[in-house]
Structure formats: C-alpha cells, structure tokens
Amino acid sequence: MNSSNRIKLSLMMFLEFFIWGSWFVTLGTYLEKNLHASGAETGAIFSTQCWGAIIAPFIIGLIADRFFNAEKILGVIHLIGAALMYQVYYAADVGVLYPYILGYMILYMPTLALVNSVSFNQLNDPEKEFAKIRVWGTIGWIVAGLSISYLFLWDSEEGIKDGLLRNTFLMACIASLALGLLSFILPKTPPKVDKNEKIKIGEMLGFDALALLKDKNFAVFFISAILICIPLAFYYQVAHPFLENSGMSSPTAKMTIGQISEALFLLLIPVFFKKYGFKKTILLGMIAWSLRYLLFAFGNAGELSFMLYIGIALHGICYDFFFVSGQIYTNSRAGEKFKSAAQGLITLATYGLGMLIGFKIAGLISDAYKASDGTIDYKMIWIIPSVIAFAVFLIFAVFFNDKKKIAEDAINV
C-alpha cells in the first residue's frame, strides 16, 4: 500500500472514532445537567446505539455489499450525519433530540463496518497491517476527550453550567462533514456481492450461525455475552455523570485512560491465551467488570480518587479480555462456513439485544436511586452491575468446560 492511501485510511479511522468520542462520552452528563432527562429517558437515548447495531446489517447487506462502493456510501452517510448532528446541537429538549439521535445512530453504526471494509480492501497482509491503521481510531477518540476537557473546557463545572457541552455535537458535526468529504477520495472499494444474488435476511443477521448454539459451551458463552452487556451499558450511560458529580475535574479527558488501557491490553491477549487459555482469560475480563464497579461504588474524587482511576484503567481488561477474546473464540468455533455469520450473530446479540436491555435497566436503576431533592445514590447504582457481572462470572466458570485448544491462527482475528 502506498503512503498516500495509508495516510488517507489513517485519517479516516481517526475521524470515524473522533466523531463518536466527541459526543457519546459526555452525553449522559449533558442529558442530566442541561436537558434534565430522567434515567429512563437517558436509557432510551443511549439505546439508539442498539437499534443502530440491529439495523446496520440490513444497510450493509442490502446496499453496501451489492450496489455501491463502500467509500461512497461512507461519504453520503457522514454528510447526512453532519446534518443530523447540527439538528441535535439545536435540540432544546429530550423529545426533540431523540429522533435526530436515533436517525444518526442508525446511520453511524454501519460505518464501523464500512471503514473496516475500505481498509481491508487495500491491505496486502491485514493480520499485520490492520492494527497500524485501526490504532488511529483509538487516537481519535482520545484526542476528542482531551480536547473537550483541556482545550475547550466544556466539561468544567462552569462550562457544564453554561451549557457548553452542547458544543460537542457541533464538533461531531464538523468532523462528520470532514469525513464525508474525505470519503470520496478514499481508495475505491467496489461491491463484493452480485446485485442479482438472492437476498438472505437470516444470513445478513447471522442467523445461519444459530446451529453453533447446539454446542453447550458456545451456548454458555453466547448467553454470557448478552448478560455481560448489562453492566457494560452502565459504564457508557452512568460513568461520565458519576465522575462529574463526584467532583473529578476534566472527567472526559480522564476517561481516555480507558482507551489507552484498551490499546495496551489488546497486545497482551495472545500472551494470556497462550499461558492461561481462553476460559481463564475471559473470566479475568468478567471479574474485572465486577471489581471496577466496586471501585466506583466506594471510591471518591478526594482521598480515594485512586480507586476511580483504577476503575477507569480496568476498561482495557474488561473490554479486550471479554469482547475481543470472545470474537477470537467465536472465529475458532464457527469454521469457514459460518465465520462471518457467527461474528454478525455475536454483534447483534451484544451491541443489539444485550446493551438494549442494559441501557433500559441502567435507566430504571438510576431513577430508583435518585432522591426527590436530586441527590443520587451512586454507591447502589454501581453495586448492582457489579453483582450482575459477578453472577455472569459464576455462570461461565461453572458451566463452560470447553477443553479444546483455540487454533493459533484464530488469535489473528
């Protein structure tokens, strides 16, 4: 791949995740502090991500794979996304904001697959080269968080009071516009499927891989993957408002510690697989969820602030050791026939069904522990997902007994 295309793809990844990180992290705080949303309303808005994940296969399978170049669809989607984010910027209440966010996420979630498709189409050795492109996405998310906290001060106490967090949507709008325009000069990525080929809805959604559930161990993993998304939803929805309310300064920037951790622990997965095997690696990821929420429950922004920082830093173990390890396990068990379908099924089950349930529960729990004077019992809000994560840990530890060795090539997923 020539240097020009490498720069274009790296910038594409940077902007793709800069856009998401520029507004999604602070969304919970903005909804609570500026739009005075209830926990249930906040959960409904965060759930738009799940609806986007559920609908994404149709956009990719019906349009991107059959009729138009991936880079052109990416460009059109981000230009429309810029217009929707501009409307969100002006939304004065939850009722007005919701349909624009819903429309945006239905369009944005398919772009996560599109940027991968554009990248893979240009790589001679994806297993070795893709990480060097994808890491720019993590950098983009981190830069967005640092900019909000240290460059613009939008998440400072005064900034939040003045409603400056709404500017995050304008920042996402501008970045989306930039990526939309950039997309039209990205390397050409033509459709891979004959447009006349019969459409199989079950194949697009990954339903063809349901046969894998006949394997008891894969079924245990599948159910655990759905359940662990419930505590994951608490982190996305509650963490930023919690850190801000606890008195932590520049919480958006501090939360980028999680992305740095994610990048570092990703490199350690092959080491853990080789030394401890899949089951122990994924159990470590599960117990990390329970531990991080206990740290949030009993930590504070004063003398015990180190507990909050450790909780944030555990994101790498929580996410990589469960979700990335789970993708590797799924790939190894699916076989050539069901590889794509199995990955699609896991994505639909976790980011679709699992987090849809999780955001709903997180919203209800947040309302249940919010007093009439506006004070919030965050200790209980964090203890509940900690218990859920520990319960999933026990289920997996007891019922998963797969002794088969995962193939070495599966680790390169």
**pLDDT tens string 66-76:** 778 889 999 99
In this structure, the answer to whether residues 224 and 252 fall within a common structural domain is yes
In single-letter form, the type of residue at position 402 comes to D
Q: Are residues 184 and 214 located together in one domain of the fold?
A: no
Predicted pLDDT at 202: 65
Which amino acid appears at position 210 of this protein? Answer: L
CATH number of the domain bearing residue 235: 1.20.1250.20
Instruction: Assess whether 166 and 219 both reside in one domain.
Output: no
CB 68 within 8 A of CB 61: no
Q: 73 and 95: one domain? A: yes
Phi-psi region of 406 (alpha: psi -120 to 50; beta: other; left: phi over 0): beta
Same domain, 236 and 204: yes
- Domain termination site, one of 136, 161, 191: 191
- Same domain, yes or no: 283 and 343: yes
Rounded Cα–Cα distance for residues 344 and 171 (Å): 31
3-class secondary-structure state, position 88: helix
Supply φ then ψ for residue 370, to 5 degrees: -110, 120
| Cα–Cα distance list, 43 to 23, 47, 222 (Å) | 16, 6, 24
Same domain membership, residue 223 and residue 177:
no
- With a cut of 50, list the residues of the chain below it in pLDDT: 409
> Token pair 């459409």 is at which residue?
199
- Predicted local distance difference test score (pLDDT) of residue 254: 97
Indicate whether 280 and 365 sit together in one domain: yes
The token duo for 382 is 């964090």
Residue 169 and residue 206 in one domain:
no
Range of the domain at 71: 1-191
Q: How many domains does the chain have?
A: 2
Spatial CA neighbour of 51 closest among 105, 95, 112: 105
Q: Are residues 11 and 131 in the same domain?
A: yes
Task: Please say whether the beta carbons of 134 and 202 come within 8 A.
Answer: no
pLDDT for the residue 59: 73
Looking at 143, 166, 191, the residue that finishes a domain is 191
Residue after which a domain boundary falls, among 141, 167, 191: 191
- pLDDT of 148 reads 98
The full 3-state SS of 345-382, as one line of letters, equals HHHHHHHHHHHHHHHHHHHHHHHHCECCCCCECHHHHH
Query: Are 206 and 349 in a shared domain?
Result: yes
d(CA 353, CA 359): 10
For residues 250 and 110, state if they share a domain. no
Other residues' Cβ atoms within 10 Å of the Cβ of residue 2: 9
CB atoms within 10 A of CB 148: 30
